[in-house]
Chain A
Amino acid sequence: MTENAVIEAVHLTKHFQLSKGFTESLFSRRKSLVRAVDDISFEIREKEVFGLAGESGSGKTTTGRLVLRLEEPTRGKLTFKGRDLAKIKAKELKPLRRKMQIVFQDPYESLNPRMTVDDILAEPLTVQRLDHSKAEMNEKIRKMLEAVEITPPDEFLLRYPHELSGGQRQRVAVARAFILDPEFIVADEPVSMLDVSIRAEILNLMLDLVEKFNVSFLYITHDIALARHMCDRMAVMYLGKIVEMGPTEKIVYEPLHPYTNALIDAVPTPDPTAKRTKGVLQGEIPSPINPPSGCRFHTRCPVVMDICHKEEPAIVEIEGEHFVACHRHK
Chain B
Amino acid sequence: MSTNRSNDSNLTVLDVRDLKTYYTTARGPVKAVDGISFQVKSGEAIGLAGESGCGKTTTALTIMRILPNNGEIVSGEMLLGNKDLTKLKEKQMRQIRWKKISIVFQGAMNALNPLFKVGDQIVEAIVTNERNVSKKSAYERAGKMLELVGIQPSRGRNYPHEFSGGMRQRALIAMALACNPDLLIADEPGTALDVIVQAQVLKLMSELKSKLNLSMVLITHDLSIIAELCEKTAIMYAGKIVEQGDVISIFKEPMHPYTQGLSRAFPSLKEARRRMMSIHGSPPDLLEPPSGCRFHPRCSKVMPICKQKEPKTTKAGKGRNQYVACHLYGGS
Q: Which of A199, A224, A270, A272 contacts B269 (CB 8 A)?
A: A224
Q: A268-B224, A276-B199 are in contact. Are A56 and B278 (CB under 8 A)?
A: no
Cα–Cα, bound, A280→B276 (Å): 26
B327 in contact (CB, < 8 A)? no
Q: A56-B194, A270-B251, A271-B227 are in contact. Are A280 and B199 (CB under 8 A)?
A: yes
Contact A264–B269 (Cβ < 8 Å)? yes
Looking at B195, B203, B268, which has the most chain A CB atoms within 10 Å of its CB? B195
Residues of A within 8 A of B93 (CB): none
Cα–Cα, bound, A165→B51 (Å): 12
Among the 9-residue stretches B36-44, B74-82, B177-185, B258-266, the one with 4 or more Cβ atoms under 8 Å from chain A is B258-266
Residues of A within 8 A of B206 (CB): 277
Nearest chain A CB to B322 CB, angstrom units: 14
Cα–Cα, bound, A267→B267 (Å): 9
Residues of B within 8 A of A229 (CB): 267, 273, 276
Closest chain B residue, CB of each to CB of A58: B194
Residues of B within 8 A of A282 (CB): 200
Q: A201-B278, A267-B195, A273-B248 are in contact. Are A280 and B267 (CB under 8 A)?
A: no
B223 in contact (CB, < 8 A)? yes
Contact A223–B275 (Cβ < 8 Å)? no
Instruction: Give A298-328 as 1s and 0s: 1 = Cβ < 8 Å from B's Cβ atoms.
Output: 0000000000000000000000000000000
Cα–Cα, bound, A222→B166 (Å): 15
Cα–Cα, bound, A138→B278 (Å): 30
Contact A284–B197 (Cβ < 8 Å)? yes
Cα–Cα, bound, A222→B200 (Å): 15
Closest chain B residue, CB of each to CB of A149: B280
Among the 9-residue stretches A40-48, A78-86, A190-198, the one with 4 or more Cβ atoms under 8 Å from chain B is A190-198
Cα–Cα, bound, A226→B279 (Å): 17
Instruction: Give B224-255 as 1s and 0s: 1 = Cβ < 8 Å from A's Cβ atoms.
Output: 11111010000000000000000110010000
Residues of B within 8 A of A96 (CB): none
Q: A228-B267, A273-B248 are in contact. Are A200 and B225 (CB under 8 A)?
A: no
Q: A266-B199, A284-B197 are in contact. Are A198 and B282 (CB under 8 A)?
A: yes
B156 in contact (CB, < 8 A)? no
Closest chain B residue, CB of each to CB of A165: B282
Nearest chain B CB to A286 CB, angstrom units: 11
Q: Which of A226, A249, A263, A277 contacts B228 (CB 8 A)?
A: A277
Cα–Cα, bound, A276→B226 (Å): 12
Contact B278–A198 (Cβ < 8 Å)? yes
The count of residues in chain A whose C-beta lies closer than 8 Å to any C-beta of chain B is 46
Residues of B within 8 A of A228 (CB): 267, 269, 273
Residues of B within 8 A of A264 (CB): 269
Residues of A within 8 A of B230 (CB): 272
B221 in contact (CB, < 8 A)? yes
Cα–Cα, bound, A280→B150 (Å): 15
A34 in contact (CB, < 8 A)? no
Q: Which of A195, A198, A263 contacts B195 (CB 8 A)?
A: A263
Closest chain B residue, CB of each to CB of A276: B199
Q: A55-B196, A197-B261 are in contact. Are A268 and B266 (CB under 8 A)?
A: yes
Residues of A within 8 A of B262 (CB): 196-197, 270
Q: A222-B194, A273-B248 are in contact. Are A196 and B227 (CB under 8 A)?
A: no
Looking at A195, A270, A281, which has the most chain B CB atoms within 10 Å of its CB? A270
Contact B265–A196 (Cβ < 8 Å)? yes
Looking at B194, B197, B223, which has the most chain A CB atoms within 10 Å of its CB? B194
Closest 6 CB pairs of A and B: A268-B224, A200-B278, A200-B276, A277-B203, A270-B223, A229-B267
List 19 other contacts, CB 8 Å, given A192-B192, A201-B280.
A195-B51, A196-B262, A197-B221, A197-B279, A199-B276, A229-B273, A263-B196, A264-B269, A266-B198, A268-B198, A272-B228, A272-B230, A276-B199, A276-B224, A277-B202, A277-B228, A280-B196, A281-B196, A281-B200
Chain A interfacial positions (CB closer than 8 Å to B): 55-56, 165-168, 192-193, 195-201, 203-204, 222-226, 228-229, 249, 252, 262-277, 280-282, 284
Sample of 5 A–B contacts (CB below 8 Å): A195-B52, A266-B199, A268-B222, A277-B203, A284-B167
